[in-house]
Structure 1
Amino acid sequence: MSRFLAGMVCGAVLLFVGMHYHVVRGKQGVFLVPKISNNLSEVYVDIRDFQITDWQKHKPLAAAMVKNDQSDMLEEASTSLFRGQVDSLVRGLFE
């Protein structure tokens, strides 16, 4: 019975983290980034080798990183153009 309850608690914690956070692996380690909308998309994303096309496919993650002041993890190769696009996207979401 105690194993069942421990499994239920563990599952509930994992579901909560998956619904509310992106687990992001970057060059500096693993980080939790709060999601903008609560869903089970993009729970774990490895951004170590991301290019501009990858960021365009993961716009909710990029917007969450900018909104939560974790944009320093965005790669330098895509900073100028992409950050401008994400900033306008974030402004559009919250205006």
Structure 2
Amino acid sequence: MKWGRFLLGMAAGALGGYLLFKRTQDRPLRPEKIIETLKKQYKEQMTIVGSWIYVEPRTEEMEGVQYRIYQCGLTGLVDGKPHHFEFKVDADTGHVLQVEN
């Protein structure tokens, strides 16, 4: 009788752990992490003076593939002149899918 409860508890714990792991895998990356990474990538090319990001990812089709994306942008100074870049970033992987300037 005690072994039955023990095994039931082990099974419930394993199932709960698996479901929690699976749930966290389906979440997009934090928007703060995305914009921080972009700033690091572009700080060599310009002095960054501003940034923005839509914090809710949206679904968009690009080249026939569905992505959850963050729309974001950076403003920086290049040779003393302001330049604005807009990005579409994969919310799940953090890869830049499109850059517009």
TM-score (norm. length: structure 1):
0.36
| Greater per-residue helix proportion | 1
Indicate the structure (1 or 2) with the bigger Cα radius of gyration: 2
| Greater per-residue strand proportion | 2
